[in-house]
Amino acid sequence: MRFRKMKKTAIVLIILLVIAGLAGGAFFLSRGKKEEGKPVSTPTPPVFVETTINERPFVSLIPSEDGHWLTLKIGRIQKAETLEYELSYTTGEGLVQGAYSSPFDLGGETDYERKILLGTESSGRYRYHEGVREGNITVRLEGGPGPRKYVSEFKLQQGENRLVSPDNEFVLEADFNPDQFYLVMPTAGLPGEITIESASLYGVFTSGKNSIKNGQAAIGDSEVYFWNLGSWELLENGSADQVGVFAGAAGSGLPELIE
């Protein structure tokens, strides 16, 4: 009788343990489902402020003589407290490389310049990325009216007689120096103010001589203007004798420079 009683007690204990286990599992499963169902907060992306031509910084990239460096120049920075940039490019092997900065305080400066290596450096030894032909530069400003972002694609060319912008809208044909590197890019803004709200803006930059022979510039169907010593010069039939900043304006053309 005593054995049967103990056996009965053991069975009851087993049943109770099973019930407790099922209840615990149901609790954790339910809890897990509730936690899975919680909305995950994601950071709100910044809303970038739209700016006019006269409010945008003038962004340029100037290649070195050997094509291993790009000098980033940002001029006419307005109402900004911090700046950051990101440069990315594709090597001849098809690898995407780049350089960037964290946001830093401008300290009231309206111009910025930085020399960027197209490669890597370790203990004073350089490894250059060969065959770089295209990339893009992103500039972000904070402060004043709010966050602003400017992105420009670029093309790096050498030994060709036809330079073309990444969007294929700007073309410059000429007898270029075959030993020089030329970089073509939209410039975001301009070196000085103009009385116009929209225009197609492109820059052709080189570390060598700016003069060219038999130059012919075109920006779609627009009239082409060249920034020459602080004023706009209409290029008759697109004829150009130097590289620099070009603008395309339809209709009556580009207004005078604001003094």
Q: Determine if the pTM surpasses 0.85.
A: no
The chain-wide mean pLDDT, for the chain, equals 85
Q: What is the pLDDT of residue 9?
A: 52
* Cα gap 174→65, rounded to integer Å: 19
Taking residues 69-97, report their average pLDDT: 97
What whole-number distance in Å separates Cα of residue 163 and Cα of residue 41?
A: 47
Residue 95's pLDDT band (cuts 50, 70, 90): very high
Mean pLDDT of 1-25: 48
| Residue 185 near residue 203 (C-beta atoms within 8 A) | yes
Q: Are 96 and 88 in contact (CB under 8 A)?
A: yes
Task: Determine the average pLDDT of the residues in 136-145.
Answer: 96
Q: How many CA atoms lie within 13 A of 73 on its CB side?
A: 16
Report whether pLDDT(6) > 50: no
pLDDT in tens, 168-215: 999 999 999 999 999 999 999 988 777 666 689 999 999 999 999 999
What is the Cα–Cα distance from 147 to 39, expressed in whole angstroms? 28
pLDDT at 47: 87
Q: What pLDDT was estimated at residue 197?
A: 62
43 has pLDDT over 60: yes
